[in-house]
Amino acid sequence: MISRGPSRLIRTKPGEERATFLREVATILDTDYSSLDTTADLVERYGVDELEVFEYVQIAEDVWHVVLNPNPMTDADFAEMRHRFSNLDAIITAAEAARTRADA
């Protein structure tokens, strides 16, 4: 089981969440954010592991101020997360949908 630490709540201007998220992830991947392939499988294309996917989901939670993963997470939750968030687009789509629901 793993628990999430405190949220960073990244401040972002409305409409700039996607770019902010991609810049944060690109920094971790040590690449330019404009060159990220958001539809590519994170494990296959970028060689990341489940903990890194977890980190990217946390960044999305911090940027959009939403909850995407349970806290704490079990092994089964990690397996589901890896399947659900296989690429950056999936993380972005989930975060945007969660933000829309929260704002409704």
73 beta partners: 2
**What is the reported pLDDT for 84?**
96
Complete domains list, the chain, with CATH: 17-103 (1.10.1200.10)
**What is the reported pLDDT for 50?**
86
**What is the reported pLDDT for 6?**
64
In a structure prediction context, what are the per-residue pLDDT tens digits for the chain, which is 104 residues long? Answer: 666 666 777 888 989 999 999 999 999 999 998 999 999 999 999 999 888 999 999 999 999 999 999 988 898 998 899 899 999 999 999 999 999 999 98
**What is the reported pLDDT for 11?**
86
Kindly report the pTM of this predicted structure.
0.92
**What is the reported pLDDT for 5?**
67
